[in-house]
Amino acid sequence: MQQRSSAWLALAAILPWAAPAGAATTVYVDRAAWESAVAGAVLTEDFADAVLNSGVTFVSAESGHVNPALELYQDVLASTSGNLPATTWHFAPDIVAFGGTWTLGGPGGSGNSLLVYADTTTFVGSIPNSYDGEFWGFVASAPMSSLRLVGGLGTHQQNYQLD
C-alpha cells in the first residue's frame, strides 16, 4: 500500500516581517523538524486533481505535469536539452517555506540531482539523486514568490516525482 504524503507550502502571509535580500535558508531532511520550524499555517497540495491550490502555478520547460492517478507531480529535466531544463513554481501570496517527499530516478537510472533556487536565482540546495520517497524542504528568512528546480550537472536526465 502506497503511503500518501503531500507537498507542503507555508504561506509568508502568516509572518508580518520582511528580511533583506540574500535571505538565509535552512534545509531540512526531517519532515517533523521542518514542520516545527515553519510553526504557522501550512497549505498542503495533495495533487489529487489537475487543479492546484489557489495562487500556485508552475511552468515546466520539459514534460512536468500533475498526475492525479498517482497523486503527485512528475517531471523529467534533461541536462542536455535545448530548453533550459527547469521547472518554476510561482506562489501568490509569497511563501517562506517549501518541502515535500521526493523520488529521483526512474527509467534509465538515478539521473543527476535537482538544484533548488528561491526566487529563481538564490541557491538553496541540492536534492541528491539517491532520494527515494524521502523528505526534503527548506525555510527561508524572507518571503519568496517563486521556486526554480533545475536538473543537476551531468549528462543524464533527471526524472523526479514530488508528493
Domain 7-13+23-162 has CATH 3.30.310: no
Alpha helical stretches, state H, 11-124: 31-38
Q: How far apart are CA 124 and CA 15, in angstroms?
A: 20
* Confidence at 3, pLDDT banded by 50, 70, 90: very low
pLDDT digits (tens, 9 = 90+) for 34-69: 999 998 878 889 999 999 999 999 999 888 999 999
Average pLDDT of the segment spanning 16-38: 77
Sign of CA dihedral 7, 12, 13, 16: positive
Q: How far apart are CA 16 and CA 152, in angstroms?
A: 35
Q: How far apart are CA 5 and CA 48, in angstroms?
A: 11
Q: How far apart are CA 36 and CA 155, in angstroms?
A: 38
pLDDT digits (tens, 9 = 90+) for 89-138: 999 999 999 999 999 876 655 667 888 999 978 999 999 988 999 999 99
Would you list the domain boundaries of the chain?
7-13+23-162
List, in sequence order, every residue forming a beta bridge with 24; answer none if it has no partner.
none
